[in-house]
Amino acid sequence: MPNCTHCQKRQAIAFTTFECYCQGCALDIALILLKHCQLSENSINALVANGWNLPVSTSHHYSATNIAQELNCSAQKIGRTANRLGLKIEQYGEWRLDQAANSRKQIETFWYNAAGKQRLIELLQGNDQL
């Protein structure tokens, strides 16, 4: 078995066309690549945790669809309102990797925490102008 081409100290376990990496260097490279994909820290943590089949614990969050059903409106209206008012921030929820509807593509979607859900309800209830 060849040594890692990055650190040149440990035995390689991962191979590309031109490089081979030990476990530690492979993880470092993977995390660097994930950081450049502009994923949220929570999404990166979920990917890392799922790589080792560890459960990712988080507080309860709601999708735009969940909130829309409660308010009897469309998920698109929830998303448009949140975008227009700048509600897709850490205070009101988190970005997560999700499966796109009718596609195999993975996308990042915003999931609202209790504060985000409450803020949207306050803004949308009784206000058809939004």
In DSSP terms, 95 is beta-bridged to 110
3-class DSSP assignment, residue 62: strand
- The pLDDT score that the predictor gives to residue 38 is 67
- Please give the DSSP secondary-structure letter assigned to residue 104: S
Q: Which of 5-9, 102-106, 110-114: highest mean pLDDT?
A: 110-114
Q: Categorize the per-residue pLDDT at 58 as very low, low, confident or very high, splitting at 50, 70 and 90.
A: low
Question: What's the CA gap between 70 and 53, in Å, rounded?
Answer: 33
Q: What's the first-to-final CA gap in the chain, in angstroms? A: 62
- Number of H helices and E strands in the chain, helices first, is 5, 4
> Domain ranges in the chain?
64-124
Question: What's the CA gap between 110 and 22, in Å, rounded?
Answer: 35
- The pLDDT score that the predictor gives to residue 28 is 82
* pLDDT for 54 beyond 70: no
* pLDDT for 40 beyond 80: no
Instruction: List pLDDT tens digits, range 116-128.
Output: 999 999 999 866 5
Question: What's the CA gap between 67 and 80, in Å, rounded?
Answer: 13
25 CB burial (10 A radius; 0-12, 13-18, 19+) = buried
